[in-house]
Structure 1
């Protein structure tokens, strides 16, 4: 079981099929800069936070080319806000040639000028272009407490614009939506769908608020770190393929260097850097970060769509 005693840490092997590594999901941090400064952001993104530096088109190309060798299926762009990155459309256009592309976006002003171009790109490619829209609450006031006054209306309006452009946005909320109520996941999902009645959307609710970034200021008291041992990973119902690091990798730019991490939850921590390329990162990932237990093991959190 999970414990604080000294024992061998649990780990996840990388996905292998027919003696070949299989990379299903490749993530890129476009940078930690964002047009918003949300009170729950585990990256602490803001207009001035450049801890995770803005990536450029030429910097992602080698990783995409390498990912093709391992049959990449899905490429994700997260931030920060991807649509403030100056090369974002170049990167989307390029990646759509080889895989499905998803952007995690707050769908506020930065995306507006790109919607027509995004519609055209989607029509021109066989791979799917998707959007994970951050909408933290079905209640306007509660959403705006987190993201700033007026942002609920902007996100709702631009999400509908995406729908009218032919997309089916994935409305994504954090576990903030469960605070101060006793609603079930199904009830919360219904309330989001009621917001978009008459439109086709999906809903994704993240099961846990990461105790990182600006969210540390929101929560009353962080929980203690619980380690995952080898024996934890052998318990009934625990499967390696339930973890993002089983078949995914994340690339981010830190101090001018593109580095590979196991997943998009972990960032800017040299102890968790895996490699400078994908192939060399396909080793065991030891589950020693606090979020490995909090988000993945205990709550079954999924980073993917």
Structure 2
């Protein structure tokens, strides 16, 4: 997932402080777990590039979240099975997941388990290409239907994409995307709505033209196959979400992604991984729920601007 974070000024200090009540004293909205359908694995914050506005501050030097191991991931998958969770999808994000040398083993473990699919968020650049043979072997063993690689292309225009990810990065990412498509992998693309000043319809048309030019089998009008994420401005004013908001907005708590997903991270120096509520909040300890899926199966207070802007008001989700 690629989400730009902009911090021009600090939000009001009275907001998003109390997990129980909003700044206006209203009961804060909470989201109760409704069964784990998507388990996110953060493979580590190391990345081969440094983006201008990475929400997780990934870079070639940031190892605040360390490489998680295949054995550690297997432990959470085993726990999900033991608990009878309705797990359908395991997503791998980073950093760049292909920087983690254990990624292919983790993918093989997921795909070998009945009913599970795997989703990898990647920039499709050199780290992924190093594992071309391994990816082909996974495809030969398990097929392409249950393995999706979502490639980050912030915009269909190379110059705009490169402003965020560095000169020449668009060409390298597109080359990786084309390779995946030609090899028959199931590919999706992640873009950035804030980069599309022309509007969403025109932006999707631009992607469609790019996909057609390079024979990439991605339906640009499909909001899952081409996910256009909203911009995340931590400094902009955003309303807090109270319990009354569900009725006002006509939205059910179960539609918010923390109702059915959790993310596993391994902090640098930690003895074991931790389970957190949301992919967007890897460093906020208020959203660390425990060391096991059982401990993490509890309500989440929507006590962060991202909860409002991205999930409730923006209606976005990171999984398929």
* Structure 2 length-normalised TM: 0.85
Q: Give the distance between the partners of 1:193 and 1:4, measured in 2 at CA.
A: 44
Aligned residue pairs total 286
Q: CA shift at 1:132, angstroms?
A: 0.7
Please give the per-residue CA displacement for 1:91-150, whole angstroms capped at 9, x wherever unaligned. 111111121000000011111122232132123226600011000011111111111111
> Does 2:208 correspond to 1:193?
yes
CA contact (8 A) 1:27 1:250 kept: yes
3-state SS of paired residue (1:206): strand
Partner of 1:129: 147
Matches within 5 A, 1:11-26: 11-15=30-34, 22-26=35-39
The partner residue of 2:286 within 258, 265, 271 is 271
CA contact (8 A) 2:58 2:95 kept: yes
The partner residue of 1:47 within 60, 84, 90 is 60
| Cα root mean square deviation, aligned | 1.8
Partner of 2:311: 296
CA contact (8 A) 2:191 2:229 kept: no
CA contact (8 A) 1:115 1:165 kept: no
Please give the per-residue CA displacement for 1:246-298, whole angstroms capped at 9, x wherever unaligned. 11111101241311111211112221111110012111111111100010111
Q: CA shift at 1:177, angstroms?
A: 2.2
Partner of 1:33: 46
Partner of 2:198: 182
> Does 2:231 correspond to 1:209?
yes
Q: Give the distance between the partners of 1:81 and 1:196, measured in 2 at CA.
A: 23
Partner of 1:113: 130
Partner of 1:217: none
3-state SS of paired residue (1:182): coil
> Does 2:106 correspond to 1:84?
no
Which consecutive unaligned segments of at least 5 residues does structure 1 have?
A: 16-21, 213-221
> Does 2:20 correspond to 1:5?
no
Partner of 1:216: none
CA contact (8 A) 2:147 2:186 kept: no
Q: Give the distance between the partners of 2:299 and 2:310, measured in 1 at CA.
A: 19
Partner of 1:102: 119
Runs of 4+ in 1 over 3 A off after TM superposition: none
Partner of 2:183: 165
CA contact (8 A) 1:254 1:268 kept: no
Alpha-carbon spacing, 1:211–1:53, altered in 2? closer, same or farther (3 Å): farther
CA contact (8 A) 1:206 1:301 kept: no
Which consecutive unaligned segments of at least 5 residues does structure 2 have?
A: 1-15, 17-21, 220-224
> Does 2:90 correspond to 1:75?
yes
> Does 2:297 correspond to 1:282?
yes
Q: Give the distance between the partners of 2:48 and 2:229, measured in 1 at CA.
A: 25
Alpha-carbon spacing, 1:236–1:223, altered in 2? closer, same or farther (3 Å): closer
CA contact (8 A) 1:115 1:162 kept: no
